[in-house]
Amino acid sequence: MKTAEIARRFLAFFENNGHTVVPSASLVAEDPTLLLVNAGMVPFKPYFLGERTAPYDRAATAQKCVRTVDIDEVGKTARHASFFQMLGNFSFGDYFKERAIPLAWQLVTDPVEEGGFGFDPEKLWVTVYTEDGEAEAIWRDQVGVPPERIQRRGMADNFWSMGVAGPCGPDSEIYYDRGPEYGREGGPDADEDRYIELWNLVFMQWERGPKGDTDILGDLPRKNIDTGMGLERMAAILQGVDNIYETDTLGAILHRAAELTGTAYGDAEETDVSLRVVADHVRTATMLVSDGVKPGNEKRGYVLRRILRRTVRNLRLLSGDDSFYLHELTRTAINAMGEIYSELETNAEMIHSVIDAEEKNFADTLRSGTSLFQRAAERTRAAGSTVFSGADAFQLHDTYGFPIDLTLEMAREQGLSVDEDTFQSLMQRQRDAAKRDAEAKKLGNADPGVYSKLLEGAGTTEFLGYTDHESESRVLGLLVEGQSVPAAREGQQVELVLNRTPFYAESGGQLADKGTIAVDGRGVVDVEDVQRPVADLSVHRGTVRSGEVALDDRVHAAIDSQRREAVSRSHSATHLIHSALRNALGPSAGQAGSENQPGKLRFDFTANKALGTTELAEVEDEVNTVLSGDVQVRDFTTSLDEALSMGALAMFGEKYGDQVRVVEMSDYSRELCGGTHVGATGQLGVVKLLGESSVGSGVRRVEAAVGIDAFRRLSKESLLVGQLSEQLKTPREELPERIDAMVARLRNAEKEVERLRAEQVLQAAGQLAHSARECGPARLVTHRAQDGTTADDLRKLALDVRGRLGTDQPVVICVTAVANGRPLVVVAVNKAAQEHALKAGELVGIAARALGGGGGGKPDVAQGGGSDPEAVDTAMRAVERHVADTQ
């Protein structure tokens, strides 16, 4: 039975039994404490915690999930996976054990021709929580499972909680016996390799306190059901294969990877591990990109980048070459998963664009990272150590995207270990900082549950800002330092929830409104930011300027209208730029982010190469042509299907409801958008593109000024051009040629100066060779070159002097210079010196440490540097002492 058919059959069964089929939520979690959805129940968590009322009593889903805690274990076993799908049925205070257990048994054991999965009841075992006699009785007396195939297990195996105070309860699991060839008799208690878990039924019946699972406070007022059936595991059993990597979806990717790299699955464990990593990670990356995640250096983007780079690394281990395979493997993943998730086909061009660009970018990283690793390894050996610095490993990983597993492997090849404790400590520090930053913006000082309770108690905030800049409102919620308070006084930082507001909450790239909330005759709050920490709840953050504000106060809310109008102009400009870019580059130029500020904007879009000056000029010209036509800007609400059929663009990865707002500018631009806009394009005045740059793999950015800001920018540039024209005595239109000629002459002059300086440095070689003196077992030359001498010239000088002194006896050359305020040192030794244990890398390390820095290189020549130019002579003396002390 194919994976897609298993999911379809599961959902159809529960729909026929009164459940609402809820489409899979995006992998991008709404819960601000999570980066990604990591369990099937996550989208329903607010309902289980009582923060929101579920819109249905029963639900069933096939939920996409990603877990990255065990990412390093992926591939090493046949069961670990970073992406998986969880089938589940849920009851929110409707039915409980007496209904959930028979439903599960019916679906699992009903014949295939009747819509079930057709399992032989004689091969099924059940586990229950050791104190849950109620569940055991239902399995035994109502369903008919023999008592000898029901096993009681403790809290570690059959008890569930969210890990925080809230709902908890026992669970019951269904296991399938694969037969004696897989292990010992005796049920799940005896061997969980032979007896495989099919389904976990969680019975939320108690409330847990903050101390742990044993801190049971009492019964929940409404008992809930949360079940989870792993789709991949079920597919492995129903398809008669030993593990999830041999199922139809993952197997298709794995075998295509083997075909492309000229390997075979099952031939060698090392090869199998890499093929499993590739299969899992390609599928995970495809699903993440489809849900709008882009590779980056933090949060979800970092997860995606790490997954893709592990994939490339393993592909190169398999193939032994630098070929690009991800485009073909991504196509295979889209085909394999498209039957369940049709949006993969819709987003295919975008997915390919992002993943292809990251693969190419990482190829460059591997080249540069290998060079950086080599230099760091040489410094390690030069310092007499066999432990590669954890700080160096972190820098390679964090700054250059070099995978830690690659650093570990390369270190082992060179006889080095890696200080993994320091590396992990630095990684954890970075994760903690990123998590704090992510939560701070949306949550301020409050726990997320506080906002959910406000929403539950006060209801949604009505937004009036499309038509009104002021409103009479009422204070429904008041927070100070994350805690609900009855009133706030002058000078306090406060968060207010109003029943209705003209303030736009930051969303869709548009910055929040600023303004004031005034209590008649009693106080004023300066609003500095507005956020939606939970859906449909606007939280106004600011400072009580004077007086006080209290719950239930009637207030007058007013936004800064001039600022709003400037932001609206910028937002409308992003829509025009988006259309112009698509016209120039094709439909693959999709929006990848934006920020609309007063008078300026940035717009991120997907593209595999930079835009040339001519292309930028054409985009700018097209946008301003539309402005001059004064096209009317219209917005309206319609169904999502109707909007898409009209050609409205949806932001890639964004989540939309059944009803959406469409903003259109004639036929030129039509997008789904919740932001504020101008009434006609002529109100933008002028749009000036300020430049284009890269912000990540496959993502480019244009920045622009709008309206009066654009005019001022143009005016300033015109004045600057006029001044250049006057100073160079050249007409404006001839300035580019004149400046090109001046720059060319300057570069030629700099090259000549550099040549003369290099010649001057090398002219000293003969005299330096004559100055060689006996020092220990070697002839030694130490020399400080003139300031400004480059490291390359120092190296040439050292090698020249070494060559003049011959090979008959040991020779050590140590030359230094100060360039741009930083000291440099180069050490060269001949083979005879090396035989006396005088290694260039070790000597340069001695000198570099005296300079307050580091260095390394080969045994015959090495270079380094430092931060203290006053220590140059000290560094040379340190080298001399070491040579003198050598026997």
Q: What pLDDT is attached to residue 436?
A: 59
Whether residues 502 and 574 fall in one domain:
no
Residue 388 and residue 419 in contact, taking contact as beta carbons nearer than 8 Å: yes
Residue 846, strand partner residues: none
| Domain contains 388 | yes
In this prediction, residue 695 carries a pLDDT of 77
> Residues of the chain whose pLDDT is less than 50?
438, 441-443, 445
* E strand or H helix that includes residue 159: strand 159-161
The confidence score (pLDDT) of residue 445 equals 45
Q: What tokens does 256 get?
A: 């295509």
Please check if 814 is assigned to a binding site: no
Query: Whose structure tokens read 């039509």?
Result: 670
Residues 777 and 845 in one domain: yes
Q: Where do we find the tokens 């169904």? A: 639
Write a three-state SS string for 98-158.
HHHHHHHHHHHHCCHHHCCCCCCHHHEEEEEECCCHHHHHHHHHHHCCCHHHEEEECHHHH
Residue with tokens 């591990």: 273
* Buried b / exposed e along 244-266 (16+ C-beta atoms within 10 A): bbbbbbbbbbbbbbbebbebebe
φ/ψ (deg, to 5) at 159: -145, 140
Question: 326 with 426, same domain?
Answer: yes
751: left (phi over 0), alpha (psi -120 to 50) or beta: alpha
Residues linked to residue 593 through DSSP beta bridges, in sequence order? 604
Domain boundary among 716, 746, 774: 716
What's the CA gap between 735 and 732, in Å, rounded? 5
* 539 and 619 inside one domain: no
Distance of CA 70 to the CA centre of its chain: 17
Return the CATH number at 457: 2.40.30.130
**Cβ-defined contacts of 863-870 (< 8 Å, 24+):** 863/791, 863/794, 863/795, 863/824, 863/825, 863/826, 863/827, 864/824, 864/825, 865/791, 865/822, 865/823, 865/824, 865/825, 866/822, 866/823, 866/825, 867/822, 867/823, 868/823, 869/818, 869/821, 869/822, 869/823
Which residues are paired to 291 by β-bridges? none
Distances from the Cα of 170 to the Cα of 86, 215, 470, angstroms: 19, 14, 52
Whole-number Å distance between alpha carbons of 553 and 270: 68
Of 217, 243, 269, which residue sits at a domain end? 243
b/e map 310-346, b = 16+ CB within 10 Å: bbbbbbbbbbeeeeebbeebbbbbbbbbbbbbeebee
* Domain identity same for 178 and 214: yes
Q: What CATH number is given to the structural domain containing 830? A: 3.10.310.40
Neighbours of 772 (CB within 10 A): 18
The residue written with tokens 């609206």 in the block is 568
The answer to whether residue 733 is domain-embedded is no
862 lies in some domain? yes
Say yes or no: 827 and 866 in one domain.
yes
pLDDT reported for residue 107? 96
> Over the chain, what is the mean pLDDT?
87
3-state helix, strand and coil shares in percent for the chain, rounded to the nearest 5: 45, 25, 30
Tell me how far apart the alpha carbons of residues 293 and 285 are, in angstroms, rounded to a whole number. Answer: 9
Are residue 395 and residue 299 in the same domain, yes or no? yes
d(CA 452, CA 54): 13
Residue-wise pLDDT tens digits, 387-403: 898 888 888 877 666 77
Q: Give the chain's domain count.
A: 5
Structure confidence at residue 413 (pLDDT)? 67
Q: Is residue 750 part of a domain?
A: no
Same domain, 70 and 150: yes
Q: Do 569 and 500 fall into the same domain?
A: no
Q: What is the pLDDT of residue 102?
A: 95
> Do 552 and 534 share a structural domain?
yes
Task: Tell me whether residue 28 is in a domain.
Answer: yes
Is 732 a domain residue? no
Q: Are 688 and 662 in contact (CB under 8 A)?
A: no
* CATH code assigned at 581: 3.30.980.10
Name the β-bridge partners of 507: 510
Do residues 386 and 415 both lie within one domain?
A: yes
- Token couple for 161: 């909680």
Domain interval for residue 774: 765-885
pLDDT recorded at residue 430: 74
CATH number, domain containing residue 181: 3.30.930.10
Residue after which a domain boundary falls, among 538, 559, 580: 559
What is the structure's pLDDT at 734?
A: 86
Rounded-to-integer distance, Cα 832 and Cα 840, Å: 12
Q: Domain check: are 283 and 431 in the same one?
A: yes
In a domain? residue 579: yes
Residue 571 marked in a binding site: yes
Report if residue 723 sits inside a domain: no
Q: At CA 253, angle to CA 248 and CA 258, rounded to 5?
A: 120
Q: Which among 333, 401, 338 is positioned nearest to 373, based on CA atoms?
A: 401
pLDDT of residue 70: 66
Angstrom distance (rounded) from CA 578 to CA 589: 8
